Structure 1
Amino acid sequence: MSVKQQQVITDEQWQHARTIWDYHQMHHDLRRCDVAIGLGSHDLGVARAAAEFYHAGWFSLLVFSGATSPTTAARFPRGEAVHYREHALELGVPDEAILVESSATNTGQNISLSRQLLADSGTQPTSVLLISKPYMERRAYATARKVWPEVDVVCASEPLELDDYVSSIGDPKLIIDMLVGDLQRVIEYPKLGYAIEQPVPGDVNDAYQALLRAGFDSRLLSS
């Protein structure tokens, strides 16, 4: 942890963040799936992980899904999925192994529109490897189980610890805000019909409440 990070975020807050980080990851064992879906975001690590998993033989067909959002328009002006595809091609994934879904603007659409794209291409998978940001695995899983309950879902992400992920992004406050925001969505989205319910252990809820009180709230849902 850098001196700058220590000046902004206390050790106790980092421990709370690690508790939530660990909860967000599903810790699934990788296994062969019919297809993979790379969920669009600001994080190009999704495309790196997808390329690594492809070369390891965990799937043979990959969908990148995502349009743009206010937080990704400058970084990925042609759309998240398009930029992911370009990066995967640079990493040796063959063009014929990639489908691009470029309209989705939320996780539910990532999954439902990818499902439709696969069906239109003649593919009816029974298992899907969902590739996301490390702290989005649980929300992706809960959403997929709601939107596409027929498939067996395996979640995966770039294998990074929290400190390494923060270093790769370069904004520790933003990352903790995102951890908190994603946990709020895990809690609230089932009530809105967007996802299945996930149990939240007491230590995770305590960490969440402590970080909320400390002002890590820029990524909360609008009330």
Structure 2
Amino acid sequence: MADARLLWDFQRMGHAPRPCSVAVGLGSHDLGVADVAVELYRRGMAPLIVFTGATSPTTRDRMPRGEAVHYRERAVEGGVPEEVVLVETRARNTGENIRFSRELLAERGVDVSSVLLVSKPYEERRAYATARRLWPEVEVVSASTPLALGAYVTSVGDARLVLDMLVGAVQRLIVYPARGFMIEQEIPEDVVAAYERLRGAGFTGRLVPE
């Protein structure tokens, strides 16, 4: 868990929320993403929310109508007006989340200069790096549920899933820049070492082919 905390802390960007043109909530198994977007809207940090995501093997059973649709339902239940919540239901990875959300906002004629990018806590940096590559003209402010690793694992109820995801997120930071999927970022040596130990310990369920 000490290695996992290193990866967890590295993934957090440490951005302070500030008013942006739009909040974009990235689809996943975690409804906390929708809750954070709702809280940011209530605080006046974004006048519009886009939820993006189809389904994945992780979410197919728990979100059968699609991640973005379930997020929207959660937000409306939380008091956000329906007219300020847009959904993008095709995206199946982070790159598509960004590209399709950008296209949707352009189609709606929304002028975007800054984005509150809401993700799972352990994917802040991955999402940020992807957005900076695919949407370079906008300022990106990262946001996620403000939980420590232990509390987050308890909320999800599946430590293996969270650690697999952590390892997979760091691997993508290592291999994806060369493929053009995200900007390159410096990864500290202790984070790389922790990643390699966790990978060697078998937390490989979310790795991509290299």
Task: Give the distance between the partners of 2:155 and 2:108, measured in 1 at CA.
Answer: 36
Amino acid at match of 1:173: R
Amino acid at match of 1:204: V
Superposed, 1:48-197 pairs within 5 Å as 48-197=35-184
Number of residue pairs aligned between Structure 1 and Structure 2:
210
- Aligned residues: CA RMSD: 0.8
Query: TM-score with structure 2 length normalisation?
Result: 0.98
Amino acid at match of 1:24: Q
Q: CA deviation at 1:174?
A: 1.7
Q: CA deviation at 1:79?
A: 0.5
1:16 is aligned to 2:10: no
1:212 is aligned to 2:199: yes
What secondary structure does 1:104 align onto? coil
Task: Give the distance between the partners of 2:119 and 2:160, measured in 1 at CA.
Answer: 20
What are the ranges of 5 or more consecutive residues in structure 1 without an aligned counterpart? 1-13
Which aligned segments of 4 or more residues in structure 1 are displaced greater than 4 angstroms?
A: none
What secondary structure does 1:116 align onto? helix
Amino acid at match of 2:201: A
What are the ranges of 5 or more consecutive residues in structure 2 without an aligned counterpart? none
2:190 maps to what in 1? 203
Q: CA deviation at 1:118?
A: 0.6
Q: Percent identity?
A: 60
Amino acid at match of 1:136: E
